[in-house]
Amino acid sequence: MTARIDSETAYGMTPGTYDRALAEVGRGTPSGELLRRYWQPIALSKDVTDLPQPLSVLGEELVLFRDGAGRAGLLHARCCHRGTTLGYGKVEAEGIRCCYHGWLFDVEGHCLDQPCEPDGE
């Protein structure tokens, strides 16, 4: 019995190729580093609320929110303390508070409060 060549579907085709330097936009890639030097539109200002919105931009997981003072914040989606998602965080007047240990981050990512930490370490 001879092997049947499937010529009517994609199963007989060779996989496509692409130029990794141009197509990949993750951190550390040439295109990713180039695109990070410019402003990227990610949401309409009217859609940014006090409810944290998880999103992915250039291969990075981020969280978008508006604090109690009306300032928009875009932070890494994971808390630097234990890696819990800030998508479940509580938005307060000064920023967003992690739901796990309660660390408070402002819209620029600065840690403002570390409850239960001795001497603010």
CATH number for domain 45-120, candidates 3.30.70.120, 3.30.70.330, 2.102.10.10, 3.10.450.350: 2.102.10.10
Distance CA 66, CA 6 (A): 54
- 8 Å CB contact between 93 and 77: no
pLDDT score of 117:
78
The one-digit pLDDT tens for each residue of the chain (121 residues) are 566 665 666 777 777 788 888 889 989 999 999 999 999 999 999 999 999 999 999 999 999 999 999 999 999 999 988 889 999 999 999 999 999 989 999 999 999 999 887 775 5
Length of the chain: 121
Show Cβ contacts of residue 43 under 8 Å, excluding neighbours closer than 6 positions. 53, 55, 64
Provide the whole-model pTM.
0.77
- 8 Å CB contact between 76 and 84: no
Residue whose pair of structure tokens reads 């949401």 in the numeric block: 43
Tokens found for residue 84:
């819990």
Among candidate residues 76, 74, 67, the one with its CA nearest the CA of residue 95: 67
Amino acid at 83: G
